[in-house]
Amino acid sequence: MKAKGSSAHATAEVFWTAFRALPKTERKVVVRRFVSDREFREDLLDLAVFEKRRNEPSRPFHEYLRDRTKKQA
């Protein structure tokens, strides 16, 4: 993701402001449209999980693979 102040951030702000300005019924239509797109819905769910687990400790990938292999054996 680009840093705040970037063109992408500015574009996101414009879209967010426009979305928030819509009447509630129109916002619902937009949300339904997003949620009906399978790929977008999966991305949104992934982002929700990332956000929820943001403060969990991390570990090296090779440790994860080692532990996964042990569980499968």
pLDDT per residue as tens digits for the range 39-72:
999 999 999 999 999 999 999 999 999 998 888 8
Is residue 12 a part of any domain in this protein?
yes
Question: So what's the pLDDT on residue 5?
Answer: 65
Is residue 41 a part of any domain in this protein?
yes
The total number of structural domains that make up the chain: 1
Q: What is the DSSP letter of 53?
A: T
Is residue 2 a part of any domain in this protein?
no
Question: So what's the pLDDT on residue 3?
Answer: 55
Q: Is the pTM of this model over 0.85?
A: no
Classify residue 36 by burial, with Cβ atoms within 10 Å: 0-12, 13-18, 19+: exposed
Is residue 32 a part of any domain in this protein?
yes
Is residue 53 a part of any domain in this protein?
yes
Residue 29: which domain range? Answer: 7-72
Question: So what's the pLDDT on residue 4?
Answer: 61
Average pLDDT score over residue span 23-44: 96
Do 27 and 19 meet the contact criterion of CB atoms below 8 Å apart?
Answer: yes
Is residue 45 a part of any domain in this protein?
yes
Is residue 1 a part of any domain in this protein?
no
What are the structure tokens assigned to 15, written together? Answer: 């879209």
Question: So what's the pLDDT on residue 9?
Answer: 93
Is residue 33 a part of any domain in this protein?
yes
Cα 27 to chain centroid distance, Å, stands at 19
